[in-house]
Amino acid sequence: MKTTLILTVLAAATVANAQTQDIAGDWQGTLKPAPGAELHLLLHISKTGDGTLKATVDSVDQSAKGIPISAIAFQDSTLTFTSDAVHGKYEGKMNAAGAIEGTWTQSGPLPLTWTRAVKASDIDGAWEGVLDVGQKLRLVIHLTTTKDGLAATLDSPDQGASGIAATAVKRDGASLTVEVANIGAKYEGKIANDYSSIDGTFAQGGGQFPLVLKRGAEAVKKEGPRRPQNPAKPYPYRAEDVKYPNPGAKIELAATLTIPNGKGPFPAVVLITGSGQQDRDETVFGHKPFLVLADYLTRQGIAVLRSDDRGAGGSGGNFAVATTADFATDVESAVAYLKTRPEVDVHRIGLAGHSEGGVIAPMVAARNRDIAFIVMMAGTGVSGDRIIVAQVVAGAEAAGASHEAAEAAGVQQRRILDLVEQEKDEAVLREKLKAELKDAPAAQFDIVYKQLTSPWYRYFLTYDPAPALRKVTCPVLALNGEKDTQVPSKLNLPAIRQALQEGGNRHFETDELAGLNHLFQHCKTGAVGEYQGIEETFAPEAMEKIATWILAQK
């Protein structure tokens, strides 16, 4: 997942008078906008000669320094400040231990505790490099000094992933080791004498690849490959930015509705994004699959509604505390909105979900008989824990690991998931996971533990899509790429087919599309590392299949 806190440096800060007490100095805190994602912040507070306070904030992981605080006050042990630059505000109270516990509010409220900052090490900050695994893949390691020692997170910008928590960080002189157990990865390198680079090796899935890291946001060339399928304006149809409510969740969702030219009403489809916080185009790896798909479908005479996920883009809500079931209510709200549009044929409204969206589509259709059809694009047919283990094995093999090494990685992942699912006592679970992740320092373990026990993760692990599929009575098209390593077709398509048959649904089609990966791109191995380097965003034959099938549903 990719989670970004927009931090833009604007004008110099103005300040408010305050009682300073001992608030002046440097403070550190960590925002957690989504499970597994972290943003490390440094708050610098100073006192002027007349007693007023001034402050700036650094976002370490985004290489943004000196973000101005527009107004700050500390009174009766309560710290408040606002930043016009990022449209955010904070309020917190100092506790007996001297920490300030409170809430940061930007697109939504997030807990944020400030503690006195530990002096940064000489390698704190962002380190970037390019990994060559057959395709060029940028990696960023963020190093931060905490009271427990060095901590790290890993970003893979070309894969749309950020804030992946390291489970162990060790430094011995010029030697640095960063381990990320959740993805089976380890980086070992030597720090240059002038601290300008780290020369080392990145290991994952049985493969080892040289990786030189350099300091700063400009260390890696940012130009990506072409995206020739992205449509260019003017479009031969109408595109309208809209908003609609989810009354039950008390949020408003932002979306784009594309409407074919000509006389309606038209069949319509709601596009449903995959896991992780996504925008309406499902932007990932530099691709915009839903922009390309919506353009194609609308040109074929199908109205398309595609929305920003909760808390993303123009949509409200807190993504971090939501589960797949919550996202299903957002989809139901989208359907309700389409029913209000005169351009839409209310009897031909369907759903098309990708990955987790392919789980949500049958969940919604099972309890809403007015859904005319669903399209499952790399949707799952088995429980989430089975999917995750299969991902680990298939991904490792696609990356070049031996079958034995890949299976061993799957066994380790299964062991961790079994603990999360079976151990009901939180204290016992914590200790057992500590034993499993024995090399992780306390700070890193806390990050991993919160990810593994987050509401979304727990729900996904145990959710079995089969019961919902058995209740779906509308026509279903289920598509998987033959080389999909994230939702393997041979595990999921037979399970989807079996569940639909058991429910008595006779109007379904399940197809494995030759040579395509999880994003429905033509590929070589299906490895995640290929996604960014492939210029194609969405295979034409897959889009044609979807459009033709939807138009055939009368």
| Tokens at 203, concatenated | 């290991």
| Residue range(s) defining the domain that contains residue 137 | 125-215
182: nearest Cα among 208, 204, 160, 213: 204
Looking at 116, 144, 166, which one is the last position of a domain?
Answer: 116
* Average pLDDT score over residue span 433-441: 76
- 202 occurs within a structural domain: yes
β strands within 283-359, DSSP E: 303-307, 344-354
Helix (H) or strand (E) holding 150: strand 149-156
Q: Considering only 19-23, 69-73, 91-95, 211-215, which range has the smallest mean pLDDT?
A: 19-23
Higher-pLDDT residue of 32, 363: 363
Can you give the CATH number for the domain in which 199 is found? 2.40.128.20
Q: How many domains, the chain? A: 4
One domain for residues 58 and 91:
yes
d(CA 255, CA 258): 10
Question: Using 50, 70 and 90 to split pLDDT, how confident is the model at 81?
Answer: very high
In a domain, 515, yes or no: yes
pLDDT > 90? residue 502: yes
Would you say residue 442 lies in a domain? yes
Q: How many CB atoms lie within 10 A of CB 195?
A: 13
Same domain for 405 and 367, yes or no, is no
Q: Is the residue at 52 inside a domain? A: yes
- The yes-or-no verdict on residue 10 having pLDDT over 80 is no
pLDDT at 6: 22
Residue 268 pLDDT: 98
Q: Where is average pLDDT lowest: 260-274, 294-308, 390-404?
A: 390-404
63 plus 163 within the same structural domain: no
Q: Is the C-alpha dihedral spanning 478, 483, 486, 490 positive or negative?
A: positive
Kindly state whether residue 135 falls inside one of the protein's structural domains. yes
Q: Are 34 and 319 in contact (CB under 8 A)?
A: yes
Is pTM beyond 0.85 here?
no
β-strand pairing of 374-377 with 476-481:
parallel
Q: 405: which 2 tokens?
A: 């090494």
- The answer to whether residues 249 and 329 touch, using CB atoms and an 8 Å cutoff, is yes
User: How large a percentage of the chain has pLDDT more than 70?
Assistant: 89
- In this prediction, residue 206 carries a pLDDT of 67
**Same-domain pairing of 317 and 451:** no
Write down the pLDDT at residue 198.
94
User: What does the pLDDT look like over 123-181, one tens digit per residue?
Assistant: 888 898 988 866 678 888 988 887 778 888 888 877 666 678 788 899 988 999 999 87
Among residues of the chain, what percentage have pLDDT more than 90? Answer: 51
DSSP assignment letter at 387? H
pLDDT at position 438 is: 74
20 belongs to a structural domain: no
